[in-house]
Structure 1
Amino acid sequence: MKHPLFLCGPTASGKSSLALAIAEALDGEIVNGDAFQLYDAIPTLTAAPSAEEMATCPHHLYGVLSPTQPCDAMRYREMALPVIAEIQSRGRLPIVVGGSGLYLKFLSHGPSPVPSGDPELRANLDTRTLDDLVDEFTRLDPVEAARTDLANRRFVTRALEICLLSGQPCSSLRDKWKTRQAEIDSELAGIFIQRQRGDLRERIGIRTRQMLTSGAIEEVAALDAPEHGLAKAIGVAQIRSHVEGAIDLQTCEDDITTATRQYAKRQETWFRRETWLKQVDWAPEAPPPLDAALKAVSNRL
């Protein structure tokens, strides 16, 4: 069974073209790892692979949700795992391609065992003094208390909340999860594309302009009322403002370009923290760095 290959990178870095080259070289099939490319309504705005690209090798989980269907990282994991298993069952390589860090993290490592917040418990904790919270926290979990800024009410409240909801010390849960993540890291194969800052900024500007002249405005105008996660896609709010006459086309383009560049910077920060991902540099105007990508993960595949 072939382990999946994760191909990550900021928006407009060239993930799709490199994925196609890898798929051809390694007998692979591409699995979407982008939160908004899951939706069928805005393929131009989300830079989903073209029909020509999809025809070169099998692509999975592109355009499979309608705008009214909610999705989060856990649901994405539940959708992607059987697709990956089916590809593996045929002896082919699943290549997970995307830039949605949290979705990819849930798929690669699974959800954290740390419980999410409970509104009723949080409301109760918020009525108590910080000294009272610190006293209970220190009693339940002295290890975590010793490494927590006890003057920070938010940190104390969250750690105490974890203790109370799980019935275990927060430190135990976090330490076990950290150890498990390191074990998973050692088994994963993944790369992230690194572009020079100026090159990526220029690529984002060019792509934004192309989107607006190639159907993105019409896609957004056709939406009744974006719901759930789709409304958060960069470009939806800006184009709606333009369609409604609140801003002109140039302002719309500038706003989308700026928001996309800011998002790309956050993506780069996320992927650099994932030390199991191997960086592959891609020079301006150069073809997809296939050899460098294959070399980076040769000992994991």
Structure 2
Amino acid sequence: KTAKAIELAQKQPSILISADSRQVYRGMDIVTGKDHPAGFPIFGLDIVDPGNPCSVAVWYEAVMPAIVQAWQEAKLPIVVGGTGLYVKALTHGIETMHVPINQALRNELLSLSIIKLQQKLVQLDKAKFESLNHSDSLNPRRLTRAIEVAQHRTSHPERALASRMGHMDTILIGLKYSVESIQRNKIQERVISR
């Protein structure tokens, strides 16, 4: 993906941005397949140390200054990577992205059963609970975050509307390889090149 992005970047003034949720971690170059091509700095890499959490909001805040500067310099931001949530944050916005973690609330919810968490979410935001897939409706982490977001919205209704960035014109390019090709050629090439 990075090689194709560099091909595009060589054809017009551009910047490269990694949208890979694993490549945000420093010192994990080999296990994440992180590229550092000469002459093409990539934004969105090495944002946090391993062991520290990195949310889509942390990544977004790290790459947006580079994107804004690219626009000001009439450069094309080329976003490369495989984390769809990161791309969605740029192209469509994510309403919950800027809702801060409420550690006191999380500590309070930690002792509740799945059923109690579900009931609390239904009480705060029934539509959100009904929109959860089966797996998320049984996941205490997902339920806790949904409760956190619902409580934040209740106390900050103006932020819910302001959290979406304007629409960006976007072209999405996907690469398609057969499983056999990936297994035989691509993986071997990457291992040898590293």
Matching of residue 59 in structure 1 with residue 41 in structure 2:
yes
Number of the residue aligned with 2:179:
197
* Preserved contact between residue 30 and residue 96 of structure 1 (Cα < 8 Å): yes
Q: Any idea what SS the aligned residue of 1:195 has? A: coil
Matches for 1:142-157 after TM superposition, within 5 Å: 143-144=127-128, 154=139
- Specify whether residues 197 and 130 from structure 1 end up closer, same or farther in structure 2 by C-alpha distance, changes over 3 A only: same
Q: Are residue 25 (structure 1) and residue 11 (structure 2) matched?
A: yes
User: In the alignment, what sits opposite 2:192?
Assistant: 210
Q: What is the distance in 2 between the residues matched to 1:146 and 1:69?
A: 33
Residues in 1 aligned to 2:138 and 2:30: alpha-carbon distance in whole angstroms = 44
Q: 1:125 to 1:201 in 2, by over 3 A?
A: same
Paired residue for 2:79? 96
Are the structure 2 counterparts of residues 125 and 203 from structure 1 closer, same or farther at C-alpha, using a change threshold of 3 Å?
same
Q: 3-state SS of the aligned residue for 2:70?
A: helix
1:33/1:98 contact within 8 Å kept = yes
Q: Unpaired segments of 5 or more residues in structure 1? A: 1-14, 215-301
Residue 192 of structure 2 aligns to which amino acid in structure 1?
Answer: Q
Q: CA RMSD in A?
A: 4.3
* Shift of residue 84, structure 1, vs aligned partner: 1.3
State the one-letter code of the partner of 1:24.
Q
Distance in structure 2 (CA, Å) of the matches to 1:138 and 1:62: 37
Residue 206 of structure 1 deviates from its aligned partner by 0.4
Say whether the 8 Å CA contact 2:19–2:44 is kept in structure 1.
no
Equivalent in the alignment of 2:154: 167
Deviation digits for residues 29-52 of structure 1 (CA, Å, limit 9, x no counterpart): 32333345456645455240433x
Aligned to 2:88: 105
Contact 2:13–2:76 at 8 Å: present in 1 too?
A: yes
SS in 2 for 1:95: strand
8 A contact 1:60–1:83 mirrored in 2 = no
Higher relative contact order (CA 8 A, sep 6+): 1
State whether residues 47 and 59 of structure 2, in contact with CA within 8 Å, keep that contact through their aligned partners in structure 1: no
How many pairs does the alignment contain?
179
Find the residue that maps to 1:91 and give its secondary structure: coil
1:176-207: CA deviations, max 9, x gaps? 89xx69x84x7433222222222222234303
Give the match's secondary structure for 1:112: coil
C-alpha separation between the residues in 1 aligned to 2:25 and 2:117? 47
Residue 148 of structure 1 deviates from its aligned partner by 6.5
**Structure 1 counterpart of 2:110:** 123
Once the two structures are superposed, what CA deviation does each residue of 1:241-269 show, in whole Å capped at 9, x if it has no partner?
Answer: xxxxxxxxxxxxxxxxxxxxxxxxxxxxx
TM-score normalised by length of structure 2: 0.62
Residue type at the aligned position of 1:34: D
Whether contact under 8 Å (1:137, 1:160) holds in the other structure is yes
2: CA distance, partners of 1:74 / 1:43: 22
Q: Give the Cα–Cα distance (whole angstroms) in 1 for the partners of residues 115 and 12 of structure 2.
A: 57
Q: Find the partner of 1:50 among 33, 37, 41.
A: 37
Q: Is 2:43–2:63's contact at 8 Å kept on the other side of the alignment?
A: yes
C-alpha displacement of 1:96:
1.6
- Quick one: structure 1 residues 198 and 113, their matched pair in 2 at CA, closer, same or farther if it must change by over 3 Å? same
Q: Larger Rg: 1 or 2?
A: 1
